[in-house]
Structure 1
Amino acid sequence: MDHLTKLEEMLHHANEDIRQGHYDAATNTLEKIIDIDPNFGKAYNHLGYLYEVKFKEFEKGETLYKLCLEKSPMYPSVYYNYAVLLSTLQKWDELKELLDTALQIPGITKATIFNEYAIMYEQQGNMEEAIAYYKKAALKTLDKNMVTRAKDSIERCKMKKELL
């Protein structure tokens, strides 16, 4: 088994541990991957996710996402995860820059990125932009549930506009 295949297999095991709620085991596996190959960017993304979502250590999560972007800038998953963190931290300028970059990444789900733009604008109180991006998200997806969520979000933004 070659080096990269072994690392991908270890990453798969870490993912299984995350799914099963074995966060410490997943963390140990991901740290082993980084020890073996510090340039294996995907491991930083998964570790960042654990620190952000499971351990609520946002700064550590952000550092790990940045390392993933540095090592594996073409890895789509980091853009989704990091966008959610930046939104949570209300770092709007950094989020917009990340989303602008994400749209250029092959394999990225544009509907998901448009939805993140919409959430950002909605949280900033810019309902017109939010509505425009929820529409873009709905039009870019083939997922009926996502279309329904986008329509619901547009309705919510319209209700908020009345309050502004």
Structure 2
Amino acid sequence: MDHLTKLEELLDRANSDIKNGAYDEATNKLEKILDIDPDFGKAYNHLGYLYEVKFKEYEKGETLYKLCLEKSPMYPAVYYNYAVLLSTLGKYDDLKELLDTAITIPGVNKSTMYNEYGIMYEQLGKFDEAISYYKKAALQTLDKNVLNRAKDSIERCQLKKDLQ
């Protein structure tokens, strides 16, 4: 078994641990991956997710997402995870920069990224821009649930506009 296959296998096992709620075991496996190969970017993404979502250590999560972007800039998953964190932290300038890059990465779900733009603009009270991006999200998807969510988001922004 080659080096990369071994790391991918360990990553799969860490993913299973995360799904099963075994966060400490997952963390240990991910740290072992990085001990073996500090340039294996996907492991930073998964660790960032654990620190952000499970341990609520946002700064550590952000540092790990940045390392993933540095080591594996073509890895689609990090863009979504990092976008959610930046949105949570209200770091909208950084978020816009990240989304502008994400939308150019092959394999990144454009509908998901347009939805993140919509959320950002809605949180900033820029409802016309939010509506525009929610429409883009709707037009990019083939998933009826995503389409309905976009429609609901557009309606919510219309209501907020009316209240201004």
* TM-score exceeds 0.5: yes
1:42 matched to which residue of 2? 42
Structure 2 stretches lacking a partner, 5+ long:
none
Give the Å deviation of 1:65.
Answer: 0.1
What CA deviation, in whole Å up to 9, does each residue of 1:30-82 have, x standing for no partner? Answer: 00000000000000000000000000000000000000000000000000000
CA distance in 1, matches of 2:155, 2:42: 37
Amino acid at match of 2:4: L
1:161 matched to which residue of 2? 161
What CA deviation, in whole Å up to 9, does each residue of 1:80-130 have, x standing for no partner? Answer: 000000000000000000000001101111000000000000000000000
When normalised by structure 1's length, the TM-score is 1.00
1:114 matched to which residue of 2? 114
CA distance in 1, matches of 2:107, 2:91: 25
What CA deviation, in whole Å up to 9, does each residue of 1:107-161 have, x standing for no partner? Answer: 1110000000000000000000000000000000000000000000000000000
1:70 matched to which residue of 2? 70
Amino acid at match of 1:144: K
Matched, 1:5 2:5: yes
CA distance in 1, matches of 2:4, 2:105: 22
Amino acid at match of 1:147: L
CA distance in 1, matches of 2:129, 2:140: 17
Give the Å deviation of 1:163.
Answer: 1.1
Amino acid at match of 1:51: Y
Amino acid at match of 1:36: I
When normalised by structure 2's length, the TM-score is 1.00
Structure 1 stretches lacking a partner, 5+ long:
none
- SS across alignment from 2:73: coil
CA distance in 1, matches of 2:116, 2:34: 29
Amino acid at match of 2:139: L
CA distance in 2, matches of 1:84, 1:6: 30
CA distance in 2, matches of 1:142, 1:92: 28
2:146 matched to which residue of 1? 146
2:97 matched to which residue of 1? 97
